[in-house]
Amino acid sequence: MSEEKKTIYSGMQATGNLTLGNYLGALKNWVNLHQDYNCLFGIMDLHSLTVRQDPAAFKKHARSLYALYVAAGLSPEENIIYYQSHVPAHAELGWILDCFTYMGELNRMTQFKDKSAKHADNINAGLYTYPALMAADILLYQADLVPVGADQKQHLELCRDVAQRFNSIYGDVFTIPDGYFGKTSAKVMSLQEPEKKMSKSDENLNATILLTDDKDTVIRKFKRAVTDSEANIAYRDEQPGIKNLINIYSAVTEKTPEEVVKEFEGKGYGDFKMAVGEAVASELAPLQERYNDILKNKDYLDQMIRTNDEKAAILANKTLRKVHKKVGLTDRVYYPFPPKKEEPKEEVPAADDGAYVQMSLTATKIKDKDTITVKENKKRK
């Protein structure tokens, strides 16, 4: 972590397959952020538990999400990519922040209302206090900026309020985070009901492109995409289906919507849909190849996870320790990371942030060998 750089924090829940919407709207835009920021990306598996999960499928998805992050181009060497549940400080600070969050605030959360309606048989306390845990995620790392979609803005606001409340009692403990709105990211809509956001839980399988869909599937879904009867490729709200396809094509090819409209002037919807399908499929092909390689390379993946979990824990525990002190919890002897100051220096291998523990040494050795494989994969891109 560099002192001069600001810190960015974001994450996704560990459920289901990622969609083209998750990719174009978030993941793809995270890839280069590390050049200008310290970046942490979590796999929010504790948040996923607010909805009942099938244990085996959950475990598998959480693991493949890590591989997808990396395959999409998020480097686990340049970013800290880790599991929320592997850093106990999240749950611990989450509890403490529960005690600084008012029920009145939580009652106003639209996501809670939506999810309660959707899971009426399981309106659990976790669903309710979800935003306090999310605040803990962000505040533990003293994040300056949080890239979030519109649906998470309210949670970020709450996080700021809770952090300010805490700071006003105890002094400057938390950095107050702002939303990060970089270059406008694509909002990808359903291919079947283009007024609705593309969602991994959509029952209509043709509505959603999964990052793991093969070429034929991708093209078939685009061919069936709902459009209109205007027979005119124009970028306007009155043609939401075509507008969505233009947005997708423009995000993948990095052309502006105007350029896309020009490119397809006078062409039919059939040709355009085919072109969008082809463009998306060829964007996804190398990603899928890397994804499969990473999942196959179990040792490499395990090693990355372990090293990154540790890096996250070091940072998180620093904040947690401070919070414990401030609120007056009695001194705690054991925080697994960072190592206590009085531990002999030579047991702490030099690292950029000077805070590694012995375990990483052994870890790095295995990693070097396997890093080569992944670097080669990257080149193939």
The SS3 call for residue 351 is: coil
Task: Return phi, psi of residue 353, to 5°.
Answer: -95, 5
CA distance 249 to 20: 11
CA distance 352 to 1: 7
- Catalytic site residue from 115, 221, 243, 273: 115
Instruction: Provide the minimum distance between the beta carbon of 11 and ligand TRP in the complex, in angstroms, as a whole number.
Output: 4
Distances (CA, A) of 134 to 55, 128, 301: 22, 12, 26
CA distance 179 to 175: 13
CA distance 321 to 316: 9
Residue placing its CB nearer to ligand TRP in the complex, 140 or 281: 140
- Catalytic site residue from 6, 200, 255, 322: 200
Tally the residues of the chain.
381
Residue placing its CB nearer to ligand TRP in the complex, 89 or 242: 89
Instruction: Provide the minimum distance between the beta carbon of 230 and ligand TRP in the complex, in angstroms, as a whole number.
Output: 34
By CB under 6 A, name the binding residues for ligand TRP: 9-13, 44, 47, 134, 137-138, 146, 148, 152
Instruction: Provide the minimum distance between the beta carbon of 227 and ligand TRP in the complex, in angstroms, as a whole number.
Output: 29
Residue placing its CB nearer to ligand TRP in the complex, 127 or 233: 127
Instruction: Provide the minimum distance between the beta carbon of 41 and ligand TRP in the complex, in angstroms, as a whole number.
Output: 9
115 annotated active-site: yes
CA distance 73 to 69: 7
Residue placing its CB nearer to ligand TRP in the complex, 115 or 273: 115
- Catalytic site residue from 197, 255, 326, 378: 197
Instruction: Provide the minimum distance between the beta carbon of 101 and ligand TRP in the complex, in angstroms, as a whole number.
Output: 15
Residue placing its CB nearer to ligand TRP in the complex, 122 or 358: 122
CA distance 180 to 203: 31
CA distance 351 to 2: 12
Just list the catalytic residues.
115, 197, 200
